[in-house]
Structures are given as C-alpha cells and as structure tokens.
C-alpha cells in the first residue's frame, strides 16, 4: 500500500502558511497560542507531532477546523508506518460489513 509522496507535516503548514505570512516570530505565535516557544518550535520544525490539544488551539487561532490539522498528522503517521516492512498473516476470506 506504499503511498508515493510523503504527506506534509502539519507543523510545516503552520510555519509556511500561517506564521511566516503574518510576520509572526515563533515567540509571538507561541504566546498567542498559549504554549511555550519550545513546544511550538518543535512542531513547526517537524520534530514533534500535532496533538489534539494543539490542533484545537491552532483551529481557534486560525478559525479553521482542528480536525483538518489532525487529519494532516494522521496522513503523515500512516505514511510513515506504511514505509516500514511489516509481515502479517492474512485472515483468509473475511467479509467485513
């Protein structure tokens, strides 16, 4: 099921599509979100994952859906998991409803 292109990290989207265009510093953006500078820096530098709590904060700050931010993270997480070789034994002819 290998997907071809690696999905974009939601932190990169936040950095490139929100923080930079608004001319915000990381410190100012973190303050507005109510998180530490370190927490935001790790997210926008793709060192940490988008948490549900952060998705809610960003959704409120940008007037967007928290679901969309978490969906970006889920797509990335699934892509990364799919890149690892995984041996499984099938269940046979299972019909799922």
Largest interatomic CA distance in the chain: 56
Q: What is the pLDDT of residue 92?
A: 80
The number of folded domains in the chain is: 1
Question: 7-56, pLDDT tens digit by residue?
Answer: 999 999 999 999 999 999 999 999 999 999 999 999 999 999 999 999 99
CATH number at residue 76: 1.10.260.40
Q: What is the pLDDT of residue 2?
A: 59
Residue 90 in any domain: the answer is no
Residue 43 in any domain: the answer is yes
**Across residues 59-74, what is the average pLDDT?**
98
Residue 48 in any domain: the answer is yes
C-alpha 23/C-alpha 14 separation (Å) is 12
> Is 10 within 8 Å of 79 (Cβ atoms)?
no
Q: What is the pLDDT of residue 95?
A: 74
Helix (H, G, I), strand (E, B) or coil at 21: helix
- Is a pLDDT exceeding 60 seen at residue 79? yes
CA 75 to centroid of chain Cα atoms: 8
Residue 93 in any domain: the answer is no
């Amino acid at each position: 099921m290998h997907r071809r292109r690696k999905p974009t990290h939601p932190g990169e989207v936040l950095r490139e599509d929100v923080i930079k265009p608004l001319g915000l510093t990381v410190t100012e953006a973190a303050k507005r979100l109510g998180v530490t500078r370190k927490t935001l820096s790790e997210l926008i530098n793709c060192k940490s994952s988008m948490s549900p709590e952060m998705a809610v904060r960003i959704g409120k700050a940008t007037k967007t859906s928290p679901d969309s931010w978490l969906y970006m993270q889920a797509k990335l997480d699934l892509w990364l998991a799919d890149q690892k070789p995984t041996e499984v034994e099938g269940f046979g002819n299972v019909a799922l409803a």
